A and B are shown apart, each in its own frame.
Chain A
Amino acid sequence: MSERYRAVGWTRHKRIYDAILLAGAVTVLGTFAAATVALEPDATPETILIRGFGLVAIVLLHVILVIGPLSRLDPRFLPLLYNRRHLGVTTFSFALAHGLFAIIQFHALGDIHPLVSVLSGDGDFAALTRFPFQPLGLAALGILFLLAATSHDFWLANLTAPVWKALHMLVYVAYALVVGHVAFGALQAEAQPVLAILLGVGMVGVVGLHLAAAVRERRVDRDIRSMTSEGYVDVCAAGEIPANRARVFAVGGERVSVFRYDGKISCVSNVCQHQNGPLGEGRIIDGCITCPWHGYQYYPESGQSPPPFTERIPTFNVRVIGQRVLVDPHPNPPGTPVVPATFPKS
């Protein structure tokens, strides 16, 4: 969150994150190059670079893809999510280097345009035995470019978070294309099963974690609460909400966060305006609901960000009757102040 435009708001956390990211990428590249030189002395430098850049890109893509579900399943992984977009841009950079080197090496010296050569130079889409792998890689690179180019908050703010999130879900399509690219490309030339095993393990990890997280989320969405005669939804007992934290419920078709703080209870949308992060998994810091993803803040009574920031989220009318917390399923317009319910001591 920034009160004025800055291309990148560098913080110590981001610098450490990026330093670890670059060190990891260089380590993978260096280890791969050293192992290749040792095991395949005839491999040329350009071949090592093409393979090495591709390897780093696919490793980073796996890391990117597991951060989301890991954070959903275990909040200890949330710090990894904070700067995930830098990971995405770095992945695209390595994938671009891989693609450019490969095009120069295999397609640039012929008598047809290199891109035409990439798209028509190998295989046959109708034959599985010679399925062309290079167009799959090119398509994945195109998607990664689109995602890297729109990764900045400028695009997030102008496209709106739901559209931006939907656009960035294309990374899953890119992943499927990359799996096909490797399976019908590099894997075909490998005599040893190592690459197939690594690709399979990565695939099981990514798909398994996403499915586990998705199933858990579905369970929350399907947990329908009973409605009272006054049109309120009975969500929980007040004592079940931890202090300065929230519980999340599916109410009226979307999720709400019911926060308890200073003997009061407020209810707001669970969706952060920044990247649609889960506010209910955050906590109250300095009197504000703080998103666990990037630290965006909102007052629990009004759903407004503290000045000078202007983000607003919908609020919900809430009552406490006896020990039960009741939520009106109809949202108030974003930023509407609502008197918090008081939390009676039992």
Chain B
Amino acid sequence: MIRSHRRRHFWIFAILAVILPLVLVAAIGVKRRAPIVDRLPPALNQPSLGTWNPIAGTETEWVDLPIHLRMLASDSLRSRLGVELTLTEAFSEPDVAVYWIARTGAAPETLPRNAILVGTIGKIGAQRLELPPQAVATQGSLVLYSVAHGRVLGALTISEPRSGPSDE
């Protein structure tokens, strides 16, 4: 190299020796601390409920949505309840979450603050989700909520006929 290039080379690396460590340290410093999830939250980590039995008389179709619903019971005492949601078509929304709310009637405009996450659905076919313990004693509704679009897709009152038999 000619002398002018050697000088330029020296000063370039003298500057880089200061700037590059600063860049690396700054990048590490502003790094967002992503939580390491080694297990799913309980609402998303449900057992398959494969041994739970459908409750007779609870089968219903979701209005305006391609979903067939029936309720499940963990045992003959119905100490724990669940729902089986069967999708006959895929949703256009990518991330539909299922919530349980302790009220019935028309679908709420927005997701109530006391809504309890039950799980997520999206695949065509049947999925079983456990309802929160409150659902055993309180009548309520399931609410489908699109997280991506931030809107309620629909709600369905679920009622358990307390005297009805399970399909055991």
- Measuring CB to CB, which residues of chain A are less than 8 angstroms from any residue of chain B? 128-129, 131, 162, 165-166, 169, 172, 175-176, 179-180, 183-184, 187-189, 191, 196, 199-200, 203, 207, 210-211, 214-215, 217-218, 221, 250, 253-255, 271, 276, 278
Which of A175, A203, A215 is in CB contact (< 8 Å) with B21? A203
Chain A residues near B26: list those with CB within 8 A: 128, 183
B10:A166 contact, CB within 8 angstroms: no
**Given that A191-B34, A196-B28, A214-B10 are contacting pairs, would A253 and B16 also be in contact in the complex, using a CB cutoff of 8 Å?**
no
Q: How far is the CB of A103 from chain B (nearest CB, A)?
A: 22
- A207–B13 CB distance below 8 A: yes
A190 closest partner in B (C-beta): B31
Do A217 and B2 touch (CB < 8 A)?
no
Asked if A211 and B3 sit within 8 Å, CB to CB, the answer is no
Instruction: Name B10-26 residues within 8 Å CB distance of A.
Output: 10, 12-14, 16-17, 19-21, 23-24, 26
Across the interface, name the chain B residue whose C-beta is closest to A166. Answer: B5
Number of interface residues of B (CB under 8 A): 27
Decide: A200 near B24, CB < 8 A? Known: A129-B30, A169-B5, A188-B32: yes
B12: chain A residues within 8 A (beta carbon): 169, 172
List the B residue with the shortest CB-CB distance to A212.
Answer: B13
A-B contacts besides A129-B30, A176-B20, A218-B6, 7 pairs, CB < 8 Å: A131-B30, A172-B12, A189-B34, A196-B28, A203-B21, A207-B17, A221-B3
Cβ–Cβ contact B5 & A214, under 8 A:
no
A187 near B5 with CB under 8 A, answer no
In the complex, whether B8 has a CB less than 8 A from a CB of chain A is: yes
Q: Is B27 an interface residue (CB 8 A)?
A: yes
When distances are taken between beta carbons in the complex, the residues of chain A under 8 Å from B16 are 172, 175-176, 207, 210
Q: Are A184 and B27 in contact (CB under 8 A)?
A: yes
Q: Which of B3, B9, B19, B24 contacts A214 (CB 8 A)?
A: B9
Q: What is the chain B residue whose CB lies nearest that of A72? A: B1
Q: How far is the CA of A281 from the CA of B130 in the complex (A)?
A: 79
Which 6 pairs, one residue from A and one from B, show the smallest C-beta to C-beta distance? A183-B27, A214-B10, A210-B13, A129-B30, A207-B17, A172-B12
Q: How far is the CB of A191 from chain B (nearest CB, A)?
A: 6
Contacts of B27 in A (CB 8 A): 131, 180, 183-184, 187-188
The residue that A210 contacts in the complex, of B1, B9, B24, B31, with Cβ under 8 A, is: B9
| Contact A211-B13, Cβ < 8 Å, known A183-B27, A187-B27 | yes
Considering the complex, give the chain B residue whose CB is closest to the CB of A200.
Answer: B24
How far apart are the CA atoms of A189 and B10 in the complex, in Å? Answer: 34
Q: Please, which residue of chain B has its CB at the minimum distance from the CB of A193?
A: B28
Cα-based distance from A175 to B24 in the complex (angstroms): 13
B31 touches A187 (CB 8 A): yes
The answer to whether the Cβ of B137 comes within 8 Å of any Cβ in the partner chain is no
The answer on a CB contact under 8 Å between B5 and A165 is yes
The answer on a CB contact under 8 Å between B9 and A183 is no
With a cutoff of 8 Å between Cβ atoms, the chain A residues found around residue B14 in the complex are: 211, 214
A187 to B23 alpha-carbon distance, docked (Å): 12
Q: How far is the CB of B35 from chain A (nearest CB, A)?
A: 9
Is the CB of B63 closer than 8 A to any CB of chain A?
Answer: no
Whether A207 pairs with B20 at a CB distance below 8 angstroms is yes
Q: Is residue B36 contacting chain A, with contact meaning CB distance below 8 A? A: yes
Given that A172-B16, A218-B10, A254-B3 are contacting pairs, would A179 and B23 also be in contact in the complex, using a CB cutoff of 8 Å?
yes
Task: Report Cα–Cα, A110/B144, bound state, in Å.
Answer: 28
In angstroms, how far is the closest chain A Cβ from the Cβ of B23? 5
Contacts of A179 in B (CB 8 A): 20, 23-24
